[in-house]
Amino acid sequence: MPRLTPETLASASPSAQRYAYDRGVIAPGIVHLGIGAFHRAHQAVYVDDLLARHPEWAIVGASLRRPDTKEALEPQGNLYSVLVRDASGSACRVIGSIAGIIDATTEGETLLELMARPSVRIVSLTVTEKGYCHDPATGHLDLAHPDIVHDLAYPSTPRSAPGFLVEALERRRRAGIAPFTIMSCDNLPSNGRTAQRIVGEFAAARGRELAAYVETVAFPSTMVDRIVPATTDADREAVAAMLGLDDAWPVVTEAFSQWVIEDHFPAGRPPFETVGAQMVEDVEPFERMKLRMLNGSHSTLAYLGYLAGHQYVADAVGDSAFRDLIFGLMTEEVMPTLDMPGTDLAGYRDALLDRFANPALKHRTWQIAMDGSQKLPQRLLGTIRDRIAAGQSYDRLALGVAAWMRYATGTDEKGDPIDVRDPMVDRFRSIAAEAGHNAERLVDGFLGLREVFGTDLPNDPAFRAILVRLLTSLLEQGAAATVAQVKPR
């Protein structure tokens, strides 16, 4: 079967939708750091809808860690397909909005030169939580992070996202060019403020004039939402069958997509509101809602589901005890912490449960379980803090945290090893090695991770006691039995 390229596209199956503009005239106005599956199924699709009218806003994507996206897409002229799937069927669409891909591990200078051009007015980011090189509990830059140590020592050949952003801003400053706007699209609380803090702290470590220039940069916050599981070989085959062309790296996603953007782009922006994004003054309530309701449920389902032998999210919520747990978690423990007048939170919850149950999306619990140390604070711990402050219960949220601890021991319920992926995995290993399967010692060991729990939660005896009780149950009875015992209040 021929490969998807601009030349072969004419022979693609007529049922596949395709971009409706001349790719010969598009030009990069956005540089995106972290061109993974999520970006390609989300922002790049919104931009694809814009380019016919606004060709100056195409995207050049960069990957900071691996060359694989470039290797797969460059032979395709950076075209790829988005396969939208649910129980009612699937639809395939070819996206053309990626004008180029840069492998920052070998082409850092090319990336910096592009970021320093005046025509680039937005640099957006999906570098995942750990890409911010910060302390997740405090949100401050981790100056001891190896990539940050490197980038401060060798500022013109950076490795990290803060290193690239600040070096590019320094080049603009020296050339007398206005800064670009930095738009974080990661699942972090107040992601614009978080990005601003990290970039500002990195710039301050480089010099006073640069720090003053960085203070003029705009950092709009955004809430992004679309479920995008990692692409599998079966997905590639499904796309080839629908498209009639081979695509080395399509992305598979759901029909739902949401993007809420703080309208603060002094350097200019494309009219995102014309292609379905919501431009608002304050994104924070939306971010909090999404992180606590969707991502908090996701992480809870991921750890408990994995331990109970559910490979996919849809399998876990297909189990009525799990569904009841997540319904109760959202309704009784998360929703009362959200202040969203005018938003139908019960409707949002029900739509989330339907999205989790999408049988056509094979979203692995193991994938969501990754990087828990970076995710827990904004997904579960912030809600727990609010519940504690209000004198309210939080048993289901605590079960999510206890399940993370059980998962992070690195051994499953059958005694088999778990492939735990996390920047702090070495510390998990030593905690588990010292504590064995003693719940109290495990809880104390994990609560000692200040970067995750801060200094308040470890000193709360009630929080510790609930975790010990739930972790004892997970260790002695297993995840399925523990979930089945959670009673509605």
Q: Which is nearer to ligand CS2, 79 or 376 (CB)?
A: 376
Of 219-227, 236-244, 393-401, 452-460: span binding ligand CS2 (CB under 6 A):
219-227
Q: Counting contacts by CB under 6 A, is residue 203 touching ligand CS2?
A: no
User: Footprint of ligand CS2 on residues 108-147 (CB under 6 A)?
Assistant: none
Does position 295 interact with ligand CS2 (CB under 6 A)? The reply is yes
The residues that bridge with 252 in the sheet, in sequence order, are 83
Q: Which of 130, 226, 349, 387 binds ligand CS2 (CB under 6 A)?
A: 226
d(CA 373, CA 266): 35
Please name the helix (run of DSSP H) or strand (run of DSSP E) that holds residue 47, with its range, or none.
helix 43-50
Is 396 one of the binding residues for ligand CS2 (CB under 6 A)? Answer: no
First CA to last CA across the chain, in angstroms? Answer: 58
Structure tokens at 232: 């599998």
Residue 3 to residue 301: CA distance in whole angstroms: 38
Burial of 62 (0-12, 13-18, 19+ CB in 10 A): buried
- What residue is closest to ligand CS2 based on CB? 298
Q: What angle do CA 104, 265, 342 make, to 5 degrees?
A: 115
Question: 85 vs 226, which CB is nearer to ligand CS2?
Answer: 226
As measured in angstroms, the least distance from the Cβ of 461 to ligand CS2 is: 30
In the complex with ligand CS2, which residue's Cβ is closer, 134 or 375?
375
Q: Which of 50, 218, 317, 368 binds ligand CS2 (CB under 6 A)?
A: 368
Instruction: By CB under 6 A, tell whether 314 contacts ligand CS2.
Output: no
Residue 70: exposure state from Cβ atoms within 10 A (0-12, 13-18, ≥19): buried
Please, where are the H alpha helices in 357-438? 365-369, 372-376, 382-389, 395-408, 425-435
Interface with ligand CS2, residue 227, by CB under 6 A: yes
Site for ligand CS2 in 174-193 (CB under 6 A): 187
Integer Cα distance of 93 and 87 in angstroms: 18
CB 135 within 8 A of CB 142: yes
Only one of the segments 71-79, 84-92, 143-151, 224-232 lies at the binding site for ligand CS2 (rule: CB under 6 A); that segment is 224-232
Return the structure tokens found at 360: 């056509």
Q: How far apart are CA 129 and CA 380, in angstroms?
A: 15
Tell me if 401 sits within 8 A of 384, measured CB to CB. yes
Nearer to ligand CS2, 26 or 294 (CB): 294
Instruction: Compute how many residues bind ligand CS2; rule: CB under 6 A.
Output: 9
Closest approach of Cβ 357 to ligand CS2, in Å?
14
Instruction: Build a one-symbol-per-residue string for 256-285: x at contacts with ligand CS2 by CB under 6 A, - elsewhere.
Output: ------------------------------
DSSP 8-state symbol, 21? S
Q: Which of 40, 298, 364, 427 binds ligand CS2 (CB under 6 A)?
A: 298
User: What residues make contact with ligand CS2 under the rule CB under 6 A?
Assistant: 187, 225-227, 294-295, 298, 367-368
